[in-house]
Amino acid sequence: MSNVSTQLKALENLSRLYLASMLRGCKTTTEHFKADDDNMPAFQKALEMAHKKSGDWDAKILNAQRQLLATGYDVPDSWMAIGVAGNVTCGREIVKKKPVLFVQVSGPDTNALGKICDEIRIAQIRLQSTPESDGPWSKSDTPSRWGKIFGYSARTFVRRVKNGKIRVIKNSDKSYQVHLNDLPTDQK
């Protein structure tokens, strides 16, 4: 688990990306190509570019979602399932009695994104009103002492803290407070 400030940063990052998604792609765009062999390369290039743009943005969003999950924050599924980058569709249709190929890029569901951004703002306010030291915490000690208590080296202790396996309040590089529920059973 991570501390409150890490969760706040992850929430802020996800919120910014969601807001940027709302601003960058509100409208649907469609490109048409004659359905013949001469236009196939242009059609394929337009399709590739649409997927690349959408995929790059999806990767940024997915990374921010994973960072938030890694903090241990209890994230609602609705925040994760939203199609943020929009959709890319392609196919054939008849326009003016002639077959054409099309690539259509639709923007995200801005109403759903707006609702999620509002929920994230509320979550940030709740987290900001939670004191960092809230809960049963141990006295401060060094990573090497904590490592001995847990039966690890100091490096392993710090690595487990970074991985979220042990909840701590990091006072400095050489001073940590451990959540009492994370202590080994013989140390509680």
pLDDT (tens digit per residue) in 25-59: 656 677 777 777 777 788 778 877 777 777 677 78
Pick the more confident residue, 70 or 106: 70
Domain count, the chain: 2
Task: Please name the residues in contact with 32: beta carbons below 8 A apart, sequence gap of 6 or more.
Answer: 95, 100, 101, 102
- Per-residue pLDDT at 26: 57
Query: Is the model's pLDDT at 1 over the cut of 60?
Result: no
Residue 120 and residue 156 in one domain: no
Do the bridges between strand 98-106 and strand 175-178 make them parallel or antiparallel, or are there none, so unpaired? unpaired
- Per-residue pLDDT at 146: 94
Residue 53 and residue 104 in one domain: yes
Rounded to whole angstroms, what are the CA distances from 89 to 60, 69, 124, 152?
Answer: 21, 30, 36, 53
**Residue in the block written with tokens 């569709």:** 89
In a domain, residue 70? The reply is: yes
- Per-residue pLDDT at 109: 77
Domain residue limits at 51: 4-128
Choose the weakest-confidence range: 82-86, 114-118, 127-131, 165-169.
82-86
Residue 10 and residue 37 in one domain: yes
